[in-house]
Structure 1
């Protein structure tokens, strides 16, 4: 049986090529640049004042002292956005606001707090060095400068920088389009009251939300009955998807026919069954160059399969540097009393203890069929196959969900 790391390696090896597209800047948040970006213009594009004050010729202020200030004649005001075209004459000063364009002839700005305005003029009490409080053209970014490299995550900070340079479209790794096909005769839509023996289809909206939260675009393909030909037909007709996720029908029951449907279609099976509990009977195949990953039908197990196997794949397709969940070392609050032949991924609530270490509360229900405890978990406590029993206080590997608001201290050793 494959370990999670081995299954992930197979999926990444057979992952579809990353798609690159140009998107409007307002849609680029959270995406990764696919190409280098160079500045089309300098920033700032004009010499601008860094302070409210007076723009002056620095040479006019030579020799100024508290006892013998230099007196300059005021010649107007330059607000931000209203440049003065006329050259500043010797012996004059012009009031200027922060961000205002320093006029021709001026080469410095003295702060408003450092001058005194009198009927005689603007009194300057010290020499003002050239370029004081002036941001020259290109001080921040030079024209043609490499500002962001391929592989850079676009955050609000990058949006601000790109907009300041007038870059309104950026080349990014496209959000993967993920088809979602639920299987099972027992499934009814979530808005429908189930009849005898039926359950609401929670996997379609749940997995769609996982895909969306991971940065992908979910495409819900519907629900297929537990009939090989029906599943095969819906897989065959799934168009416009970079990969497909199915839920249910991957175990060893009489009506678990997803793998059989893939065989009929001529798919190449990469693996079936991975050392994951819950979620062992997960499978993956390549169908016409496209990955099809069969998740467990139990919602909690499907979530676990997604977090461990699909999330790293989506991170890869999105060009992210970190693949999958954050890993850390944690301390068990409760003992693990049983030993299992597969690696157990216990639902856990991660928090920082008084000593700053990550503590893992695994007291919630762990059965594959229990969904409610997933809402109380923000991490997995990883118990390796054949490990145990483990006492409370044992150190284990922790995988942190995105909402795990914990400080991760430096590791003390391998876990």
Structure 2
């Protein structure tokens, strides 16, 4: 059997990075979580004009060189310059302008004296400390000059990047497309959420769960479908979807039974599909292939197996397609309660933290079909295949389950 690391690397290597498209900087829903595909350069200098870094008085440093606490220099105040003032103003030698943070510095001024070093006068001001030239002055272009690179290729866009783009005069950027992902649940026994299942039927919980994982991961949910158990039905739906999406995720129909629709759909086809066993719990049976240029992930049907498989295999591949890092988002935690792990298989145990968020313990039974405890779990603890008992006090790697698909 393959290890989960081997299989994960195999599927990540098989998927392509998507092409870039132009994105409007003013549309946060389209911008955030995307990866820059080309360097972004400023169209204007930053700051765009010389301005004050604080509330105070704009002066010439030479005029206050002798100022001291016990021997203040008194200057007449020419007026006020608020932030947003668009006037072209000048400072006469031997005078001052009262100025606010971010307001444009008048011509001739080279220093701002903070208001705390003055008597805060409005018609004349007593300045009680000398200040070197350039104090509290933001010079035009001191941050960046026109043409400077403000965001490098590969930058993952977050809210903190938005003011940089807006201030730099950038209206559009080139960003890698988010993969459009379709979800397909297989099985004649499935009924939609809200329906009452009859004898032998179950509610399709995997479809909504996988759809939620797609959206939480920052990808685009393109379609959701349910199909029956025949290979012809499955192949027809997947072929239709492959023409309009970037990635397909199916659930169910990959085990070793006699009626496995994913296997039946591609057993005699020319497509490169592979069904393997991975030494992990849950999620042992896995399938992957290409329908034309569209990757298809065939996940097992048990809900917990499907969730874990998405996080370990699908999400990293989709992140690569979007230009992001495929690395698993892991942290470490100390074990607070002993539990058993199956020999020879990496266990992804559902765990919770203590009140301080540092100690983990298992929650619920760890079988792939067991939903008890799933909603309360906060992370997946990764237990190596050569470990059969996870002991109190040990340290384990964990994959957080909150916002890290």
Give the 3 Å change call, closer, same or farther, for CA 51–342 of structure 1 in structure 2: closer
Structure 2 residue matching 1:403: 3-state secondary structure: coil
Deviates more, 1:179-188 or 1:325-334: 325-334
- TM-score w.r.t. the length of structure 2 is 0.91
What is the match of residue 76 of structure 1?
79
Q: Confirm or deny that 1:305 pairs with 2:309.
A: yes
Deviates more, 1:198-207 or 1:113-122: 113-122
Q: Distance in 2 between matches of 1:97 and 1:167?
A: 27
Q: Distance in 2 between matches of 1:269 and 1:220?
A: 22
Give the 3 Å change call, closer, same or farther, for CA 223–257 of structure 1 in structure 2: same
What is the match of residue 248 of structure 2?
244
Give CA deviations for 1:292-322 in whole Å, capped at 9, x if unaligned: 1100111111001111111211222222235
Q: Distance in 2 between matches of 1:327 and 1:73?
A: 61
Could you tell me how far 1:93 is from its partner in structure 2? 1.3
- TM-score w.r.t. the length of structure 1 is 0.89
What is the match of residue 8 of structure 2?
8
Q: CA RMSD in A?
A: 2.4
Could you tell me how far 1:287 is from its partner in structure 2? 1.7
Contact 2:211 2:224 (8 Å CA) reproduced: no
Contact 1:383 1:396 (8 Å CA) reproduced: no
What is the match of residue 411 of structure 1?
none
Could you tell me how far 1:50 is from its partner in structure 2? 1.1
Could you tell me how far 1:147 is from its partner in structure 2? 1.8
Q: Distance in 1 between matches of 2:393 and 2:128?
A: 70
Could you tell me how far 1:278 is from its partner in structure 2? 1.5
Structure 2 residue matching 1:229: 3-state secondary structure: helix
Give the 3 Å change call, closer, same or farther, for CA 84–184 of structure 1 in structure 2: same
What is the match of residue 397 of structure 2?
398
User: How does 1:97-246 map onto structure 2 within 5 Å?
Assistant: 97-116=100-119, 121-238=124-241, 239-246=243-250
Could you tell me how far 1:187 is from its partner in structure 2? 0.6
Q: Confirm or deny that 1:273 pairs with 2:277.
A: yes
Give the 3 Å change call, closer, same or farther, for CA 273–86 of structure 1 in structure 2: same
Contact 1:16 1:290 (8 Å CA) reproduced: no
Structure 2 residue matching 1:376: 3-state secondary structure: coil
Deviates more, 1:371-380 or 1:304-313: 371-380
Q: Distance in 1 between matches of 2:204 and 2:8?
A: 27
Structure 2 residue matching 1:231: 3-state secondary structure: helix
Match of 1:30 among 22, 28, 33: 33
Structure 2 residue matching 1:77: 3-state secondary structure: strand
What is the match of residue 314 of structure 1?
318
Unaligned runs of 5+ in 2: none
The total of aligned residue pairs comes to: 400
